[in-house]
Structure 1
Amino acid sequence: MKEFFYRPENAWVGDVIPYYEDGEFKLFYLHGWRENYQDGLDHGWYLVGTKDFVNYRAEGACKIEGGTGHILKVDGIYHMFYCIFPPGKQLVCHAISSDLKTWEPIPEDTFAADDRIYELSDWRDPFVFWNEEEGQYWMLLAAMTKGPTNRKGCTALLSSKDLKTWEYREPLYAPNLHVGAHECPDLFRIGDWWYLVYSSYTGRFATFYRMSRSLNGPWITPKEDTFDGRAFYAAKSVSDGEKRFLFGWNPTKNDDLFGWNPPKSRGKDYDTWDWGGNLIVHEIVQRKDGTLGVKVPETVDGAFAKPLDVPFYKIVGEWKHRGDSLSCTSPYGFAGCMTRDDLPDQCKISSTISFSEQTQGIGFMLRTENTLDEAYYVTLEPQRDRITFRGYIMQSEEGGKTFPYEVELERPINLVPDRPYEIKVFIDGSICEIYVDENIAMSARMYDIPEGKLGLFVNQGSAQFSDVTILIRD
């Protein structure tokens, strides 16, 4: 079955450079062949178009060999800024096009870091926009400042009147937080707020954002400063004039690209993450206080519209079943029920969940079987204000012998008793995309259990699961 979340044939999606024009999202991306497919094949920038994040039209290679960058249109000409990596250097490059397909590099516009404000080692991922306040272009870059500590990751700033000659300026944002450069910078404005987006693989591995009333800062760190968890990276955004969407990748665990897999690991679920994977699109939502959340795009949500018959039967605990809703009270232990039939390989699961005070955990068991342990657990944990993802090994005696982590993935969320929470889970083979309300997203992968049923559970408390549905594509 063809994957729902986009991936090119025999390759993977790396960093996405989104551009919107004439009703279509034109998604340039770094094409990841990886070692097993690369001989004799093109590398670098590829282009795919979509209007709905469901149907994609592949345009193929752009004949630009380089890393992440940006596209903008000025006076009818498209400008591409990107980076290249000759031995020991990182350089910013410039190319132009009249049709977004054939690009003409301008070698004389190539430049490196200045070695005065910025280190020569990191100088990549340019993002360019017109600053109306200054009447000139600004370029943001993933860079490293000069300084006494290795925490030199920053968002570099340059300015230009003509997109050719650039003035080096003090960093836009240099908080001394990250040992690595602030990758894939992105900047946009919604209402009174400016938002600076970047990704980092040091300290925490995620796409972050900061917010400010002014381009001159200060750049505020919100209470929750990421859009998703470990399995979503290098995200950049674009607006269609009404909504703004965030494009990142859900990494695979196929190839042990960095050589960190545990030597005796059983299966893939506990292997390390690769670079690149499948394209994931979140819609950005601005909250009343100016902070940002994400939700599933309406077109993706609506692509799964055919409901399946979902009868449940109890395994443990007393469950009440009325129509598409189930409830259970189990104040001193675990209770679970499950469907009769296996989950489809591609499907959407949804339910509105509420719980009582003192409840320890509630949620879904994905691809479970009758003993309710070999499953992927998606759990709301009210006592810790988080949603977590755990693989099946964590439910077994082997769980204490694996990596010394309590959970594989988690996202913070304010959980209030007796308040309904709408949870949507999208499954596409090994891909798992989880959304709570129009607020929280958590990406994951599921490799070692290829099939199984949907289960519901309550851990030491009581819960109501309303409108439990499993939908597939027509």
Structure 2
Amino acid sequence: MTNISNKSYLILWVVIFFFSCSKEDDDTTQIPPTNQHNEKLQLYPNPPSGWKGETNPYETTGWVGDVMPYFEDGKFHIFFLHDAQTKPVGKGFHDIHKFVSKNLTDFDYQGRMINYGKTADPDFAIGTGSVININGTYYFYYTGHNGNTEYIQDHPRESILLAKSNDLKNWKKTNDFLLTAPEGYYDFEFRDPYVFYNSEEQEYWMLVSAQTDQRKAAILLFTSTDPVNKEWEVKDPLYTSSLAENYLMMECADIFKMGNYWYLLFSENWNKKVTHYRIASTSKGPWVTPKNDLLDGEFFYAGKTAANENGRFLFGWTARRFPENNTGNKEWAGNLVTHELIQKDDGGLGVKPPSSILNIFKNNQTLQAINTVGNISQNENNFELDATKNPAYITYPFSQLPARITTNITIKGDNGKTGFIFNIENDIENSSKIVFDSSKNRIVCVVNGEEKNSIPFHLETGKDYSIEIILEESICIVYINNEKAFSNRIYGLGKENWGIFADEINTNFKNLKLNTN
């Protein structure tokens, strides 16, 4: 039985329960992949179809949901919620699967790690969690979610559950641990445990995304000096949404120290649907909101981090569309995407592509223009597009994907647009674009003439900006000056031409390059 310290203002309930499992779908069964899943280089992978057999209802396209990264002995163990495009009726969903990677360019898919439960179990569906090694045993704290009508009549909809392993592969659910929302908090919204050892406080911390009875978002803090015996004590919230923020939920919280600062990450899925961060000088705060607290746009969600000896990396998923074309609806889950975090001089976080990804693009492709329109000056791979009077653009053919486009851009003026064009067929108006809009201080993804995604970014006239664009299949990720990432889903990349453009502004594109692997 779990031991809980008494608190007069909050009560933490821990109850004993037992998981039912059948021989047909045992929660300890690991489903290994076949060799065919690792033949193709994928910088931004998703789980394969057929992982459970061709006749199984889950023999379908799989997608990466919320990511739970863990690093040990030179390997990233990248756990994630598996989202099947076709879910069998009456079955649970979002079982936990895993990739393993040493370099973030090659991924070994290892199948299911933790299965969802039965209709009457608290984990009929599984939500985000985290892994920690305590005295040689791996503890996986994760979310149990059961919204079935009969279940929620007598139980909380969400709770924190636990599984254990000795090898990070074979996981067994623990029968005597269930953590539910304490007094004053809503038991429908209580999820995403992040557990770590806080050396500053010399105790274990668990952050849980929660909501007060008044529906105010909070990141709850539980502490323990003996998690092996399941002794967790509830504390005051680590962070609560302000009136100005007005967040409904702060999902998938993560906390870490880099240099002299602590960073708190969370994702908000109701307003802007993005990953935010906060800064503090201690793990308890107070937490300061940076001037621009976004690490990416709306097509990168639930960012969580893990560090190796070279740096700290941000893992999330880039949303897919259904049907899978540029007019389909944006859906939950997609491909795994990884950024590298850097710390700026003022303590803010910057985002850049992992160096291991950049290193695969060794083949420099000769740029041979297909079409040139407008007032354009060229000196080798340096271009000036003077579009102050009329639009200007240059188009090129794609040779293959994945590909890397690099350049440095400088604008003159503050009331125009410039950037990159993709999927060019007959005209650029109906193409896809990454638009640097100086008049509105933002970067926009436009697909087939329709705005799909944007992030705030102030493009100063006369300032030089380094641009990296990584393209793979339908994923387009833009990195700006090692400050921001901008992840997008554009179907048809590589099938049509691409180019650079300017409209009502003068832009220099310096040392424009296209590289392939």
Deviation at 1:385, TM superposition (A): 2.4
What's the Cα RMSD here? 2.2
- Which residue, 125, 133, 141 being the options, matches 1:73? 133
Deviation at 1:392, TM superposition (A): 2.0
For 1:59 and 1:146, the matched residues in 2 are separated by 40
Deviation at 1:270, TM superposition (A): 3.8
For 2:259 and 2:198, the matched residues in 1 are separated by 16
Deviation at 1:442, TM superposition (A): 0.6
Could you tell me which residue of structure 2 aligns to residue 90 of structure 1?
158
Is the CA contact (8 Å cut-off) linking 1:363 and 1:378 kept in structure 2?
A: yes
Is the CA contact (8 Å cut-off) linking 2:473 and 2:493 kept in structure 1?
A: no
Q: Is 1:174 aligned to residue 240 of structure 2?
A: yes
Could you tell me which residue of structure 1 aligns to residue 84 of structure 2?
33
Could you tell me which residue of structure 2 aligns to residue 404 of structure 1?
none
For 2:313 and 2:73, the matched residues in 1 are separated by 16
After TM superposition, the structure 1 stretch with the greater mean CA deviation from structure 2, 217-226 or 128-137, is 128-137
Aligned residue identity for 1:243 = G
For 2:88 and 2:432, the matched residues in 1 are separated by 31
Could you tell me which residue of structure 1 aligns to residue 8 of structure 2?
none
- Which residue, 246, 253, 257 being the options, matches 1:189? 257
* TM-score, L = length of structure 1: 0.89
For 2:514 and 2:99, the matched residues in 1 are separated by 30
Question: What are structure 1's unaligned runs of at least 5 residues?
Answer: 256-266, 395-406
Could you tell me which residue of structure 2 aligns to residue 254 of structure 1?
322
- Which residue, 431, 439, 444 being the options, matches 1:388? 444
Deviation at 1:9, TM superposition (A): 0.7
Could you tell me which residue of structure 1 aligns to residue 513 of structure 2?
469
- Which residue, 392, 402, 405 being the options, matches 1:335? 392
For 1:442 and 1:198, the matched residues in 2 are separated by 17
After TM superposition, the structure 1 stretch with the greater mean CA deviation from structure 2, 282-291 or 167-176, is 167-176
- Which residue, 459, 468, 473 being the options, matches 1:429? 473
Q: Is 1:320 aligned to residue 353 of structure 2?
A: no
Could you tell me which residue of structure 2 aligns to residue 399 of structure 1?
none
Deviation at 1:2, TM superposition (A): 6.2
Q: 1:342 to 1:129 in 2, by over 3 A?
A: closer
Deviation at 1:26, TM superposition (A): 0.9
Could you tell me which residue of structure 2 aligns to residue 261 of structure 1?
none
For 2:313 and 2:247, the matched residues in 1 are separated by 28
Could you tell me the percent identity over the aligned residues?
29
Aligned residue identity for 2:105 = V
Is the CA contact (8 Å cut-off) linking 2:388 and 2:504 kept in structure 1?
A: yes
The C-alpha deviation readout for 1:448-470, integer Å capped at 9, x for no partner, is 67721122111122221121111
Could you tell me which residue of structure 2 aligns to residue 411 of structure 1?
455
For 1:43 and 1:202, the matched residues in 2 are separated by 20
Deviation at 1:93, TM superposition (A): 1.0
Q: 1:454 to 1:211 in 2, by over 3 A?
A: same
Q: Residues 2-13 of structure 1 correspond to what in structure 2 (within 5 A)?
A: 3-10=42-49, 11-13=62-64
After TM superposition, the structure 1 stretch with the greater mean CA deviation from structure 2, 352-361 or 50-59, is 352-361
Could you tell me which residue of structure 1 aligns to residue 36 of structure 2?
none
Question: What are structure 2's unaligned runs of at least 5 residues?
Answer: 1-39, 50-61, 117-125
For 1:304 and 1:279, the matched residues in 2 are separated by 19
Q: Is 1:63 aligned to residue 123 of structure 2?
A: no
After TM superposition, the structure 1 stretch with the greater mean CA deviation from structure 2, 410-419 or 7-16, is 410-419
Q: Residues 86-235 of structure 1 correspond to what in structure 2 (within 5 A)?
A: 86=146, 87-88=151-152, 89-114=157-182, 116-147=183-214, 150=215, 152-163=216-227, 164-176=230-242, 177-235=245-303
Is the CA contact (8 Å cut-off) linking 2:195 and 2:204 kept in structure 1?
A: yes
Tell me, what secondary structure is at the counterpart of 2:356? helix
Q: 1:162 to 1:99 in 2, by over 3 A?
A: same
Q: Residues 7-26 of structure 1 correspond to what in structure 2 (within 5 A)?
A: 7-10=46-49, 11-26=62-77
Q: 1:373 to 1:343 in 2, by over 3 A?
A: farther
After TM superposition, the structure 1 stretch with the greater mean CA deviation from structure 2, 222-231 or 27-36, is 27-36
Aligned residues: 445
Is the CA contact (8 Å cut-off) linking 1:343 and 1:454 kept in structure 2?
A: no
For 1:84 and 1:36, the matched residues in 2 are separated by 18
After TM superposition, the structure 1 stretch with the greater mean CA deviation from structure 2, 86-95 or 311-320, is 311-320
For 1:223 and 1:238, the matched residues in 2 are separated by 24
For 1:307 and 1:51, the matched residues in 2 are separated by 26
* TM-score, L = length of structure 2: 0.81
For 1:21 and 1:126, the matched residues in 2 are separated by 20
Tell me, what secondary structure is at the counterpart of 1:288? coil
- Which residue, 412, 417, 423 being the options, matches 1:356? 412
Could you tell me which residue of structure 2 aligns to residue 366 of structure 1?
422
After TM superposition, the structure 1 stretch with the greater mean CA deviation from structure 2, 183-192 or 269-278, is 269-278
Is the CA contact (8 Å cut-off) linking 2:142 and 2:193 kept in structure 1?
A: yes
Is the CA contact (8 Å cut-off) linking 1:328 and 1:464 kept in structure 2?
A: yes
Is the CA contact (8 Å cut-off) linking 2:41 and 2:105 kept in structure 1?
A: no
Is the CA contact (8 Å cut-off) linking 2:83 and 2:93 kept in structure 1?
A: no
Tell me, what secondary structure is at the counterpart of 1:109? coil
The C-alpha deviation readout for 1:244-278, integer Å capped at 9, x for no partner, is 000000010025xxxxxxxxxxx832433111100
Aligned residue identity for 2:418 = I
Deviation at 1:128, TM superposition (A): 0.9
For 2:400 and 2:138, the matched residues in 1 are separated by 43
The C-alpha deviation readout for 1:11-70, integer Å capped at 9, x for no partner, is 111111101111111111111113267898985111211011111112211134332101
For 1:179 and 1:458, the matched residues in 2 are separated by 37
